């Protein structure tokens, strides 16, 4: 077999030509050898660079394990993989949307020490979109190290130590003074995900690991309502508070674009770290407003309130304006995260208006009680109070 062909063989194909030893071990070693040989042949310094400039060939049917798969981003990844003809196995606790995929094999367990259902199996790749605690990621990575050729870990742009300046994938990461901490809070979330990345890398190395760092994930099925709040609130009509200015930058990623790129990285054996975001500096609050009005046709009047005023008002717990960030030095570049590396590897961002349109169409299908209980955004009574105070200030 020539070196070029060896470098493009998938894990499933490798099981057919290996001999001696365990199937999973042979496949892993052959994949490593093929990638290393191809890198040397091409004069590259790392396996990932072999695929950065080659014509990609979509492989045949792959066996994929999804750790999770029934939350928000998981179902989109599962559906995209199925659409492309791959074979799926899900691993989860069976507590969330367990009825979504009745025809897909589901193994039940828990990331917290109950992984036995995964033993003795072989997959071509693993998608880990449910890892928030470093110990859990380390445990699953170690167990699957000899059972899969490729590990894809879905992280977050919150891993960066600072967003005061524009960042790319090489920027310093957040850290924890006590790395034994496992409670996920607003303060620990980013640093814990950074540790999760390190735990996965310690097992799968750089030649078998893909790390995806999305920003706010949006689109149909969003359980957080962080993006959904904006078009959903627009649908109610009337005066609606919009913070800051129309020029304030924001960044999102459509969940379906994230799903597409995730499966691309597996099919095309793309390893490395990638920020999955809309292009930096291209999307603003004014654009979001235009999208919301266009897809809802609602009679809504935007009221732009500057941060100086909002900072003096009681707006309730958390960020009452999700996705938007206050114009403070620490947030100066949180919507200017570079996604150029992912775009170079094939990430495609659909028009933001399409995201808004499809989100509204999905939202309208939900039961009334769900639509009346938004999980993010400004509470109606708080918004009314702010509008009253705004008008009083003007008077």
Q: Walk along the chain (395 residues) and give the pLDDT tens digit of each residue.
A: 332 222 222 333 333 223 233 333 343 343 444 333 333 323 332 333 222 323 334 458 999 999 988 899 999 999 999 999 999 999 999 888 888 899 999 999 999 999 999 999 999 999 999 999 999 999 999 999 999 999 999 999 999 999 999 999 999 999 999 999 999 999 999 999 999 999 999 999 999 999 999 999 999 999 999 999 999 999 999 999 999 999 999 999 999 999 999 999 999 999 999 999 999 999 999 999 999 999 999 999 999 999 999 999 999 887 899 999 999 999 999 999 999 999 999 999 999 999 999 999 999 999 999 999 999 999 999 999 999 999 998 75
Listed residues 29, 48, 67: the one ending a domain = 48
Residue 260 lies in a domain: no
Kindly state whether residues 307 and 178 are assigned to the same domain: no
Residue 348 lies in a domain: no
User: What is the number of other CB atoms lying within 10 angstroms of the CB of residue 312?
Assistant: 9
Per-residue model confidence (pLDDT) at position 393: 87
* CA-closest candidate to residue 230, choices 301, 292, 306: 292
CATH, residue 311:
3.90.25
Residue 224 lies in a domain: no
Rounded CA separation 367/339 (Å): 36
Kindly state whether residues 98 and 196 are assigned to the same domain: yes
Residue 187 lies in a domain: yes
Kindly state whether residues 3 and 60 are assigned to the same domain: no
Per-residue model confidence (pLDDT) at position 279: 97
Rounded CA separation 253/343 (Å): 12
What is the total count of domains within the chain? 3
Kindly state whether residues 91 and 123 are assigned to the same domain: yes
Rounded CA separation 68/75 (Å): 9
Whether 124 and 99 have beta carbons less than 8 Å apart is answered as no
Rounded CA separation 82/265 (Å): 15
Kindly state whether residues 28 and 61 are assigned to the same domain: no
CATH, residue 199:
3.40.50.720
Kindly state whether residues 64 and 29 are assigned to the same domain: no
Per-residue model confidence (pLDDT) at position 59: 53
Residue 85 lies in a domain: yes
CA 60 to chain centre: 25
Q: Which domain holds residue 160?
A: 56-214
Kindly state whether residues 138 and 175 are assigned to the same domain: yes
Q: What is the DSSP string of 52-108?
A: HSSPP---S--EEEEES-SSSHHHHHHHHHHHTT-EEEEEE-S-SSTTS-TTSEEEE
pLDDT tens per residue across span 293-327: 999 999 999 999 999 999 999 998 878 999 999 99
pLDDT tens per residue across span 247-282: 999 999 999 999 999 999 999 999 999 999 999 999
What are the distances in angstroms from CA 211 to CA 47, 78, 152, 187, 313? 15, 18, 6, 21, 40
Residue 84 lies in a domain: yes
Kindly state whether residues 66 and 104 are assigned to the same domain: yes
Residue 184 lies in a domain: yes
Mean of per-residue pLDDT scores for the chain = 87
Per-residue model confidence (pLDDT) at position 395: 54
Q: Kindly report the pTM of this predicted structure.
A: 0.85
Per-residue model confidence (pLDDT) at position 23: 33
* CA-closest candidate to residue 144, choices 199, 102, 93, 185: 199
Kindly state whether residues 71 and 16 are assigned to the same domain: no
Work out whether the CA dihedral 339, 340, 342, 347 comes out positive or negative. positive
Kindly state whether residues 246 and 140 are assigned to the same domain: no
Rounded CA separation 26/237 (Å): 61
Tokens encoding 350: 């659909």
Looking at residue 157, the DSSP 8-state letter turns out to be G
Kindly state whether residues 168 and 313 are assigned to the same domain: no
3-state SS, residue 159: helix
Kindly state whether residues 105 and 206 are assigned to the same domain: yes
Indicate left, alpha or beta for 174 from its phi (over 0: left) and psi (-120 to 50: alpha): beta
Tokens encoding 242: 């919009």
Residue 262 lies in a domain: no
């Amino acid at each position: 077999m020539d070196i070029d062909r060896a470098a493009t063989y998938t894990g499933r194909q490798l099981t057919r030509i290996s001999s001696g030893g365990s199937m999973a071990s042979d496949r892993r070693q052959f994949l490593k050898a093929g990638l290393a040989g191809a890198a040397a042949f091409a004069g590259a310094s790392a396996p990932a660079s072999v695929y950065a400039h080659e014509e990609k060939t979509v492989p045949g049917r792959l066996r994929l394990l999804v750790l999770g798969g029934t939350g928000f981003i998981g179902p989109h990844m599962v559906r995209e993989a199925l659409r492309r003809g791959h074979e799926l196995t899900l691993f989860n606790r069976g507590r969330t949307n367990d009825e979504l995929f009745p025809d897909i094999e589901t193994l039940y367990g828990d990331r917290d020490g109950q992984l036995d259902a995964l033993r003795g199996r072989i997959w071509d790749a693993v998608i880990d979109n449910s890892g928030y605690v470093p110990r859990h990621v380390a445990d699953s990575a170690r167990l699957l190290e000899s059972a899969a050729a490729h590990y894809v870990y879905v992280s977050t742009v919150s891993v960066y130590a600072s967003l005061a300046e524009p960042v790319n994938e090489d920027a310093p990461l957040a850290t924890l003074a006590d790395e034994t901490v496992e409670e996920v809070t607003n303060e620990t979330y980013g640093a814990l995900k950074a540790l999760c990345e390190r735990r996965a890398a310690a097992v799968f190395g750089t030649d078998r690991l893909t790390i995806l760092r999305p920003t706010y994930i949006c689109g149909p099925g969003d359980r957080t309502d962080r993006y959904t709040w904006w078009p959903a609130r627009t649908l109610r009509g009337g005066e609606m508070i919009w913070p800051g200015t129309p020029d304030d930058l924001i960044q999102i990623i459509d969940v379906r674009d994230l799903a597409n790129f995730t499966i691309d990285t597996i099919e095309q054996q793309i390893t490395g770290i990638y920020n999955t975001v809309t292009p930096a500096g291209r999307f603003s609050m004014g654009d979001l407003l235009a999208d919301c009005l266009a897809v809802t046709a609602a009679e809504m009047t935007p009221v732009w309130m500057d941060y100086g005023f909002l900072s003096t008002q009681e707006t309730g717990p958390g960020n009452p304006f999700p996705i938007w960030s206050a114009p403070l030095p620490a947030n100066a570049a949180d919507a200017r995260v570079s996604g150029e590396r992912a775009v170079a590897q094939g990430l495609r961002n659909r028009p933001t208006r399409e995201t808004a349109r499809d989100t509204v169409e999905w939202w309208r299908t939900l039961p009334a009680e769900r639509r009346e209980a938004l999980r993010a955004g400004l509470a109606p009574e708080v918004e009314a109070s702010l509008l009253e105070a705004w008008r009083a200030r003007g008077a």
